[in-house]
């Protein structure tokens, strides 16, 4: 994953290395208080090799993983990510991260030895726009205090060991554009409050968890571009997620326990590129309106209870754009690419 400011961090790293080799003296730009906080963070993480460039004798605006504002020189980004799986960075999220008041971007990525809860001091980072905690062993609940970070635009907590329910208070984040909580151990329902996200609503990625119960009808009130609820234990009707006037690009509800009449739903004709409903209990016929979806690239309705003839023709060309595996194991589907209808 390439995150925002990641490229700038690498450039700053090489710039710092050049300065260390250069005989030309340079003035310290880094804010002294921010520098003290960074050195505390290094200590709280047991002085890992990843932070070897964090030398108190050098300007911290040139340290690896750090980005400073070009005018104020306050720390605005702390991006800790490892390109090797066996990094020696270990411990919990450092409490001192909450003492960087100008931080806009905080990331812990591909750090398998990072564990413990999401640090409560993160609630102090009122300017934070981007929070990424991904591919770690961070555990415990998703804390409700994240709803206090009103400037958050991206909240990505994927591929950790987080457990418990999804806090309903996350819907109070007025600027949220993307919510990724996938590949954890989350349980309970999708909060009804998610229908009250500021329109059009953030991308909602909740796949690979243990979520259960019905999909809230309130989700029909928002219009995200991407919804992925796959590989959970969700039940009942998902038709509120469909609609011809929506701007949906990706809709994946596969591998759940959903049951509704597929023939009664409609689809955006131009934006939809990915539709996956496989491994559910969805019944009815495949809607003819699907043949009018212009840019469908991924389509899978296998392992359901669908019946009738696969619609032919149209710009969607369901009969020859997608192979037999997209339709297998249904109650009575027939027609190309499946055998002819009797």
What's the pLDDT at 14?
44
Distance of alpha carbon 88 from alpha carbon 110, whole angstroms: 12
In a domain, 114, yes or no: no
Query: Would residue 157 count as lying in a domain?
Result: no
Interatomic CA distance for residues 162 and 298, integer angstroms: 30
pLDDT confidence of 85, banded at 50, 70, 90?
A: low
Give the pairing type, strands 283-284 and 75-81.
Answer: unpaired
CATH code for the domain of 258: 3.80.10.10
CA atoms of 194 and 239, how far apart (whole Å) = 16
> In the structure encoding, which two tokens stand for residue 304, read together?
């359901």
Phi, psi at residue 33, to the nearest 5°?
Answer: -65, -45
Give the separation between CA 203 and CA 226, rounded to whole angstroms: 5
Residue 320, domain member (yes or no): yes
Is the pLDDT reported for residue 23 higher than 60?
no
Euclidean distance between CA atoms 144 and 314, whole angstroms: 48
- Please check whether residue 125 lies inside any domain of the structure: no
| Percentage of residues of the chain with pLDDT beyond 70 | 91
Report yes or no on 272 lying in a domain: yes
- Closest by CA to 222, choosing from 257, 194, 245, is 194
User: Is the model's pLDDT at 285 over the cut of 80?
Assistant: yes
Q: Using alpha carbons, select from 291, 278, 327, 336 the residue that is nearest to residue 307.
A: 327
Q: Using H for helix, E for strand and C for coil, what is the string for the chain?
A: CCCCCHHHHHHHHHHHHHHHHCCCCCCCCCCHHHHHHHHHHHHHCCCCHHHCCCCCCCCHHHCCCEEECCCCCCEEEEEEECCCCCCCCCEECCHHHHHCCCCCEEEEEEEEEEEECCCHHHHHCCCCCEEEEEEEEEEECCCHHHHHCCCCCEEECCCCEEEECCCHHHHHCCCCCEEECCCCEEEECCCHHHHHCCCCCCEEECCCCEEEEECCHHHHHCCCCEEECCCCEEEECCHHHCCCCCCCCEEECCCCEECCEHHHCCCCCCCCCEEECCCCCCEECCCHHHHHCCCCCEEECCCCEEEEECCCCCCCCHHHHCCHHHCCCCCEEECCCCCCCC
Instruction: Write down the mean pLDDT value for the chain.
Output: 92
Give dist(CA 278, CA 300) in Å, integer.
Answer: 6
Distance in angstroms (rounded) separating the CA atoms of residues 278 and 59 = 54
pLDDT at 252 over 60: yes
pLDDT at residue 86 in the model: 63
pLDDT category at 4 given cuts 50, 70, 90 is very low
pLDDT on residue 168: 98
Domain of 326 in residue numbering reads as 236-341
Peptide bond just before 235 cis, omega within 30 deg: no
Residue 85 lies in a domain: no
Q: What is the mean pLDDT of residues 229-239?
A: 98
What confidence score (pLDDT) does residue 27 get? 65
Checking if the pLDDT of 1 tops 50, the result is no
| Position 270 in a domain | yes
The mean pLDDT of 94-99, rounded to a whole number, is: 98
Report the number of distinct structural domains present in the chain.
1
CA–CA gap between residue 111 and residue 148 (Å, rounded): 26
Average pLDDT over residues 237-259: 97
Average pLDDT in the 192-207 region?
Answer: 97
Query: What band does 42 get if pLDDT is binned at 50, 70 and 90?
Result: very high
Whether 196 and 219 have beta carbons less than 8 Å apart is answered as no
Report yes or no on 332 lying in a domain.
yes
pLDDT reported for residue 83: 76
pLDDT (average), residues 292-312:
95
pLDDT in tens, 111-166: 999 999 999 999 999 999 999 999 999 999 999 999 999 999 999 999 999 999 99
């Amino acid at each position: 994953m390439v995150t925002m400011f990641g490229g700038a961090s690498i450039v700053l790293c090489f710039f710092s290395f050049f300065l260390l080799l250069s005989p030309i003296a340079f003035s310290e730009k880094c804010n002294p208080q921010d520098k003290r906080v960074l050195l505390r963070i290094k200590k709280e993480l047991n002085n890992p090799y990843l932070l070897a460039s964090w030398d108190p004798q050098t300007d911290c605006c040139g340290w690896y993983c750090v980005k400073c504002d070009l005018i104020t020189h306050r720390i605005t980004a702390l991006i800790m990510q490892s390109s090797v799986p066996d990094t020696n960075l270990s411990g919990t999220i450092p409490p001192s991260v909450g003492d960087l008041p100008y931080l806009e971007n905080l990331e812990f990525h591909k750090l398998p030895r990072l564990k413990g809860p999401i640090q409560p001091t993160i609630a102090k980072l009122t300017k934070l726009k981007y929070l990424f905690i991904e591919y770690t062993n961070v555990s415990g609940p998703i804390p409700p205090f994240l709803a206090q970070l009103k400037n958050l635009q991206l909240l990505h907590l994927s591929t950790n060991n987080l457990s418990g329910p999804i806090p309903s208070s996350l819907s109070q984040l007025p600027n949220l554009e993307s919510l990724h909580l996938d590949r954890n151990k989350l349980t309970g329902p999708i909060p009804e409050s998610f229908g009250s996200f500021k329109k059009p609503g953030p991308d909602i990625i909740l796949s690979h968890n243990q979520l259960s119960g019905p999909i809230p009808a309130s989700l029909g009130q928002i219009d995200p571009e991407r919804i992925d609820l796959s590989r959970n234990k969700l039940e009942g009707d998902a038709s509120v997620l469909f609609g011809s006037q929506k701007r949906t690009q990706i809709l994946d509800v596969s591998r759940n326990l959903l049951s509704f009449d597929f023939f009664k739903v409609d689809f955006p004709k131009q934006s939809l590129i990915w539709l996956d409903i496989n491994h559910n209990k969805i019944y009815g016929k495949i809607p003819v309106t699907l043949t009018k979806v212009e840019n469908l690239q991924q389509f899978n309705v296998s392992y359901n209870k669908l019946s009738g003839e696969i619609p032919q023709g149209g710009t969607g060309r369901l009969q020859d754009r997608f192979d037999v595996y997209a339709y297998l194991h249904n109650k009575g589907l027939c027609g190309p690419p499946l055998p002819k209808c009797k």
